[in-house]
Amino acid sequence: MKRFIIKLALSVLAFTTIMPMIPGIDFHGNLGAAALLSILFGLMLWGVEVVVGAIAAIWTVTTFGMALLWLIPLWITGFWIMPAVALMLTANLMPQYFTINGFLPAAEAGFVMLVIGLLTGGKPGKKKD
Q: Is the dihedral of CA 97, 95, 14, 122 positive or negative?
A: positive
Contacts of 97 (CB under 8 A, 6+ apart): 27, 28, 29, 33, 34, 36, 37
The vertex-19 CA angle with 13 and 24, nearest 5°, equals 160
What are the φ and ψ backbone dihedral angles of 26, each rounded to 5 degrees? -130, 140
| Model pLDDT for residues 76-129, shown as the tens digit of each residue | 777 778 899 999 999 999 999 999 999 999 999 999 988 888 888 755 445 554
Task: Determine the Cα–Cα distance for residues 2 and 41; give it in Å rounded to an integer.
Answer: 19
Task: Determine the Cα–Cα distance for residues 1 and 47; give it in Å rounded to an integer.
Answer: 21
Considering only residues 117 and 28, tell me which one the structure prediction assigns the higher pLDDT: 28
28 dihedral zone (left: phi>0; alpha: psi -120 to 50; beta): beta
The structure's pTM equals 0.84
